[in-house]
């Protein structure tokens, strides 16, 4: 009798070339990191934290850009956004995952690890690119490459939709999950200007399946022409516009003291009766 063959181990595909990502972040830091969107994200986070009636004593921040975020939040412990986070369970009352989650091969794993490091009723906040970020660039590069070569290469990182990103909070076991989006529109002289800015943001193409040889000049030339024609800046048609969506994810480590949703069917009055009562009293 033949012994059963062992089940093959299925390797999960990796979206991100981690070594390439780290190289481009170092180069961006060396050239002078273009941090405008990080500054917008940090200001938004500070506003949101200011609306919470709580003082956090053991905060941490997970990021691939430690220089900027350690200066923006000087009293936070800064953790690299490695696949395995250097976090101790039940050790922090606030964890911010800052501008790195969109590059994670396992974003729910990043949130799970962060959630486990929270004390009861601790707060998790993430901010990352998502939604329609760089949808213009994705469209024009695809159109130009298809037109010139008849093929297509991965060039712009796939971005998570807000509903899908928000669902990660519940999957990670966080309570009271909230996901929302802050859209930003940037203006550039041309495609070269945009590409240079992305490079200096540390947000160039670091996908594992990216094209490994130089892109033909005809592709960039055609993409630049399509971009100028299809996505002119509405305030200055001689320039182009690019969209950046900052997705904010907020959840709390479960605690007995938190508000809980009512059990289905536990309402004492029907919606129709409540509306009828409001109409009578108005």
Report yes or no on 127 lying in a domain.
yes
Distance from the Cα of residue 15 to its chain's centroid: 15
Report yes or no on 3 lying in a domain.
no
* Domain of 67, in residue numbers: 18-257
Report yes or no on 278 lying in a domain.
no
**pLDDT tens per residue, range 129-179:** 999 999 999 999 999 999 999 999 999 999 999 999 999 999 999 999 999
**pLDDT tens per residue, range 256-272:** 887 665 555 555 555 55
Q: What percent of the chain has pLDDT over 70?
A: 87
Would you state the structure tokens that stand for residue 210, as one six-digit string? 């990216």
Report yes or no on 252 lying in a domain.
yes
Instruction: Output the domain CATH number for residue 44.
Output: 3.40.50.150
pLDDT(73) > 90: yes
Report yes or no on 266 lying in a domain.
no
Report yes or no on 37 lying in a domain.
yes
How far is 115 from 122, CA to CA, in rounded Å? 8
User: Please, what is the average pLDDT of the chain?
Assistant: 91
* Band of pLDDT at residue 1, cut at 50, 70 and 90: very low
Which pLDDT does position 29 carry in this prediction? 95
Report yes or no on 273 lying in a domain.
no
Number of domains in the chain: 1
Report yes or no on 263 lying in a domain.
no
Q: Tell me the DSSP string of 120-175.
A: EEEEEEEEEEETTTTHHHHHHHHHHHHHHHS-----S-----HHHHHHHHHHTT-E
**pLDDT tens per residue, range 14-34:** 899 999 999 999 999 999 999
Which pLDDT does position 10 carry in this prediction? 42
């Amino acid at each position: 009798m033949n012994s059963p063959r062992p089940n093959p181990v299925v390797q999960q595909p990796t979206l991100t070339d981690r070594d390439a990502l780290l190289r481009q972040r170092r180069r961006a830091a060396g050239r002078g990191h273009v941090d405008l969107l990080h500054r917008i994200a940090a200001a938004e986070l500070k506003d949101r934290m200011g609306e919470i009636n709580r003082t956090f004593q053991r905060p941490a921040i997970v990021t691939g850009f430690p220089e900027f975020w350690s200066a923006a939040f000087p009293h936070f412990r800064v953790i690299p956004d490695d696949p395995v986070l250097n976090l101790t369970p039940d050790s922090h009352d606030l964890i911010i995952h800052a501008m790195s989650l969109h590059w994670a091969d396992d974003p729910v794993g990043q949130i799970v690890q962060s959630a486990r490091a929270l004390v009861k009723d601790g707060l998790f906040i993430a901010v990352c690119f998502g939604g329609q970020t760089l949808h213009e660039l994705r469209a024009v590069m695809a159109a130009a490459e298809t037109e010139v070569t008849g093929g297509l290469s991965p060039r712009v990182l796939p971005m998570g939709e807000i509903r899908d990103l928000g669902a990660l909070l519940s999957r990670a076991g966080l309570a009271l999950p909230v996901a929302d989006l802050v859209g930003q529109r940037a203006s550039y002289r041309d495609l070269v200007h945009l590409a240079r800015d992305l490079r200096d943001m540390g947000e160039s193409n670091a996908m594992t399946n990216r094209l490994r040889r130089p892109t033909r000049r005809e592709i960039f030339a055609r993409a630049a022409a399509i971009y100028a024609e299809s996505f002119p800046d509405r305030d200055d048609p001689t320039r182009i516009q690019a969209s950046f969506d900052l997705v904010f994810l907020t959840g709390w480590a479960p605690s007995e003291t938190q508000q809980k949703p009512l059990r289905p069917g536990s309402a004492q009055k029907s919606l129709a009766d409540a509306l009828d009562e409001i109409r009578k009293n108005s």
